[in-house]
Structure 1
Amino acid sequence: MTLVEAVSLRRVLDSRGNPTVEADVLTEAGGFGRAAAPSGASTGEFEAVERPPSEAIAAAREHAVPRLVGAVHAGNQREVDAALHAADGTDDFSELGANAAVAISMAAAKAGADTVGLPLFQHLGGSFRGAQTTFPTPLGNVVGGGEHAAEATAIQEFLAAPVGAPSVAEAVFANAEVHAAVADVLDERGIAAAKGDEGAWAPPIDDAEAFEVVDEAVDRVAEARGFEIRFGLDVAASEMYDADAEVYRAGDTERTPAEQRDWIAGLVDEYDLAYVEDPLDETDFDGFAELTDRVGDRTLVCGDDLFVTNVERLDRGIETGAGNSILIKPNQIGTLTDAFDAVERAHRAGMDAVVSHRSGETEDTTIAHLAVATDAPFVKTGTVGGERTAKLNELVRIAEDAV
């Protein structure tokens, strides 16, 4: 019933106006799925390889489509993704391109769900790990800099975290209100701000002032809403690190690795941070372990560039105690199966898994379903912009459907 009958691929635009790969999968029973690959700006050195979309599409048509059509069932995600790996034949999807692979993988999951008449989150949960029990708290990107915005903060993302929200919908709207409150605080300070490529405000201020602005905005909305709202960071420290000089550079400030750890630990204490992503360089497993030992009982120390959704790198982190959570981005590793394997490995080690979008996004809503299916404590989707609100609105619908 879910046998793949057709696979088609095309180029479409992502949120930055760049081309990306979109896939359609049709099953013999008429089930249909469509998905588009996102793309990152701040990418880890160890991520799966994207190819230029035209090349990825040509390679997928030649090598992957013949292995899928009439040969695998969209209702069996592991079967689909094994066929993609076999078609690629490399360790990093450099033959097909991770962008083509993940688009097909997600489209097949949607086609399988459509064929059997299930919401995608239920289909994915049934395929991999059972029904969901919780709903993720969305992390809203409200101030951004780093690789996402020039002339702004060195820290890449300041993230609102409405941890006390009584529902997904309340959390979604609270994040939007924090985003608006940041604009108000900046205006009161006479600071004009454009937006970065994820829709976060990108004011020409340093990190210290950004902490003041976000802290004030969060407090205003928390008081008005009547529930706890904290905030977190994506430091993207690999973008700051000079490996030759062995220092982190943020504006005019230089920090040794030890000073960077002290700085992050101090921020966790001062601002009660709920989440800290990539606080150190992507090769510094020992530094991550030391920082996790210091603050991991109070916050999530999350590895994105450190782990790149890769089980082998995650295993190294587990062995050293580096981080207590992993960021999950399916396009980093190429398929939903690989992403789920990383989630399950993290869970077995007592770590959390946080599902995330990318800076170059599409209207695709798969990650909202993935976050629910994997019991993620947080999901990163951004706060504003059509491609971001598509995921947030889908979370609201999922929560309503699951009641």
Structure 2
Amino acid sequence: MGIKSIIPSQVLNSRGEPTVKVKMTAENGKAASFVVPGGASVGKNEAVKKFDGADSYGGKSVNENVKTIKNVIAPKFIGYPLDHQEDFDSLLIALDGTTNKEALGSNTILALSVAYFKLSAKLSNKPLWQYIAEKLKTSPEFPRIFANIVGGGKHAPGLDIQEFMIVPQSNKPNEAIEEIVRVYETVKTIMASLYGPTAKLSGDEGAIAPLGARTEVVLEALAGLSQKSEKKFDLALDVAANSFYDGKNYNFEGQTVHASDLMAVYLDWNSKFGLYSIEDPFAEDDLEGIELLKTTPRDKGSFMVIGDDFTVTNSAKITEFAENKIIEGVIIKPDQVGSMSEVINAIMTAKQSSLKIIVSHRSGENNDDFIVDLAYAIGADGIKIGAPNRGERIAKYNRLLGIQNDLGGLQGELGDEQQMNMPAPERTKTEGSPIPSQHSAPQAQPTTGPEINKEISQAKTTNSRDLHFGIGNTEPGKVQTNHNIEVATDHNENAGSLRNAQLTPKEFPDVNDVRINPPENPIPIVPQGPVQENSSFQKAATELNPVSRAANDNQQNNNPAINIST
């Protein structure tokens, strides 16, 4: 079954900013679509999104992306067979021709990649989560929900910490969501009593944004509710330290503090409130802070360190930080890397590294609930879907309930064990790649073996016009792979650009004469992301009192005492 049509469009995300949508239709009339999300807190190693940069929407429009898909990419893929994800993605990456997807834009590539993936799933006549689990040979299990209750950072004014989350102990969606809603409404009442009615305002992810609040006041409120509810939930933070790092120190709650001071604060919070996890506790460029994560002793059962800006859903980065024992868990965001095949690689790398996997939304979201099926299918340890507020977040909550309902969990048609852990296919592993093969007999299986794997591992991009990720001999001026694609790479600076798309020749290979045929002998994609060299720093010996000041906040700010009995 092949692709009949690809229709791109510009739509708005939950922040009212333009993004790319792709609707893809198969020859039998079935269709699937995907809208690309976007983040406010962005790691520097994320794949690059492309925007017009003109006057429209303050430079954030994506009209050129839409034109490129419509006039250049779509015509090449009409009739292309579905259910060949690795090959489809590798062709898009080849057309882009850069290491970070800056030519076509990761938002362009991801819209096409996920739409293709979802359409392939529709043709299987199975739920999306089941299609994913069978492809990846994983065991479906409901994730614990990381619910954003109070927000700050780049998502809302006021607090420096970006997300104050609760993580219900139960992974049964109906039980967890009821607890989340109860806590959210209670905290909203508490914050309004402390800081007035404006405390009921919400940020990008629907979390409460109490102007005037301090970090320990919020933690005290959440910890008090946790104790009152007999520890039905844990506390987690997304610090997003990039947002208040100046290149040397951290500007936190009106003070300038060093990495060692901030680590002391985290340890103090943990002793007071029992934190479950801290995401991005230091800036990605603060190598001394990262070194502290390796060298500072933490009690057994202390908070986990979760990588997001550190790792950006990049397999090489995940391996680097896991091997150096810097992180215990990793955030998975499809738009950070730009294609489904690379997302799958990141997931499998995290599993092989025994890391906790937390699938996540972005602050600029839409009503697409794809990440919920993905999280359930791979048996993720957690999922971040924001607060139980705003339609684009509620869509994710409702999808969790929908899967539970479909499994008969609420009606008692299945036992808890059957409901939470559906049987998975026998696990197999494709040699030389963390991605299980997505092709079944009688289709050709991936060619493997020492010689092939050696050539794949040596794949690299020599410059923006020379892409080498396949096998066999590559003639000068051409990219040749076993996907039957050849991309001209004339180094003449005046070489042709993508036709009718008003694109800069220097940024693109000349793809006017690209030939795309059905795959014969597909190979897995092994992204070759940059790996930073390890750096060692002497552990800072300075010990300062934590900057947290909840003990005297009420006196300094004339705030009334927190009443947890609300």
TM-score with structure 2 length normalisation?
A: 0.66
Q: Is residue 2:356 matched to residue 1:348? A: no
8 Å Cα contact 1:236-1:280 kept in structure 2 = yes
Largest Rg, 1 or 2 = 2
Residue identity matched to 2:147: G
C-alpha separation in 2, matches of 1:369 and 1:139 = 16
The offset of 1:291, in angstroms, is: 2.5
- 2:48–2:105 CA contact under 8 A, matched in 1: yes
Equivalent AA in structure 1 for residue 283 of structure 2: D
Q: Deviations over 1:322-365 (max 9, x none)?
A: 21111110001001211111111111111121100000000011
Distance between the aligned counterparts of 2:324 and 2:138, measured in 1? 31
Q: 2:34–2:368: 8 Å Cα contact kept in structure 1?
A: yes
Tell me, yes or no, if the aligned pair for 2:315 and 2:346 is still in contact at 8 Å: yes
Structure 1 residue corresponding to 2:146, chosen from 124, 139, 142:
139
- CA deviations on 1:246-301 (whole Å, 9 max, x unpaired) are 21111212221111122222222321112211111113466446436634843331
Task: Determine if the alignment matches structure 1 residue 114 to structure 2 residue 122.
Answer: yes
Report SS of the residue matched to 1:197: coil
Matched-pair contact (CA < 8 Å) for 2:41–2:154: yes
Which of 336, 342, 356 does residue 338 from structure 1 map onto?
A: 342
RMSD, aligned α-carbons: 1.9
In 2, Cα distance between equivalents of 1:320 and 1:284: 15
- Written as runs of structure 1 = structure 2, the 5 A alignment for 1:56-135 is 56-73=65-82, 75-127=83-135, 129-135=136-142
Counterpart in 1 of 2:162?
156
Residues 177 and 138 of structure 1, relative CA distance in 2, 3 Å threshold: same
Measured in 2, the distance between the counterparts of 1:48 and 1:166 equals 32
Alignment of 1:3-402 (within 5 A): 3-52=2-51, 53-73=62-82, 75-127=83-135, 129-150=136-157, 152-163=158-169, 165=170, 167-192=172-197, 193=199, 194-204=201-211, 205-220=213-228, 222-223=229-230, 228-243=232-247, 246-284=248-286, 287-288=289-290, 290-291=292-293, 294-295=297-298, 297-383=301-387, 384-402=389-407
Greater share of residues in helix: 1
Native 8 Å contact 1:7 1:24 kept in 2 = yes
After the TM superposition, list the runs of 4 or more consecutive aligned residues in structure 1 that deviate by more than 6 angstroms. none
Q: 1:346 to 1:117 in 2, by over 3 A?
A: same
Q: Which moved more, 1:110-119 or 1:165-174?
A: 165-174
Change (3 A) 1:399 1:77: farther
* Secondary structure of 1:23 counterpart: strand
In structure 2, C-alpha distance between the alignment counterparts of 1:348 and 1:261, rounded to whole Å: 29
Deviations 1:123-175 (A, max 9, x none): 12222x2243421011111100111112x111000011102x26112112211
Q: CA deviation at 1:183?
A: 0.7
Amino acid at match of 2:334: P
**Kept in 2: contact 1:60–1:96 (CA 8 A):** no
Counterpart secondary structure, 1:61 = helix
CA displacement at 1:14 relative to structure 2: 0.7
Counterpart Cα distance in 2 of 1:63 and 1:276: 44
Confirm or deny: 8 A CA contact 1:285 1:322 kept in the other structure: no
Paired letter, 1:119: P
Does structure 2 conserve the Cα–Cα contact (< 8 Å) formed by 1:275 and 1:302? yes
CA contact under 8 A between 2:141 and 2:378: conserved in structure 1? no
Gaps in structure 1 of 5+ consecutive residues: none
Percent of residue pairs bearing the same amino acid type: 31
What SS does the aligned partner of 2:6 have? strand
Q: Which amino acid aligns with 1:197?
A: D
2:279 maps to a residue whose letter is E
- CA distance change for structure 1 residues 28 and 285 in 2, over 3 Å: closer, same or farther? farther
Deviations 1:195-235 (A, max 9, x none): 11111111121212221222234445x35xxx621110000
Say how many residue pairs are matched. Answer: 392
Give, in whole Å, the separation in 1 of the partners of 2:270 and 2:8. Answer: 45
Alpha-carbon separation, structure 1, partners of 2:319 and 2:171: 35
SS at match of 1:198: coil
Identify the range of structure 1 (79-88 vs 15-24) with the bigger mean alpha-carbon deviation.
79-88
Determine the C-alpha separation between the residues in 1 that align with 2:337 and 2:9.
21
What is the Cα deviation at residue 63 of structure 1?
4.2
1:166 and 1:7, CA in 2 relative to 1: closer, same or farther beyond 3 A?
closer
Q: Is the contact made by 2:129 and 2:374 (CA closer than 8 Å) also made in structure 1?
A: yes
Superposed displacement of residue 399, structure 1: 2.5
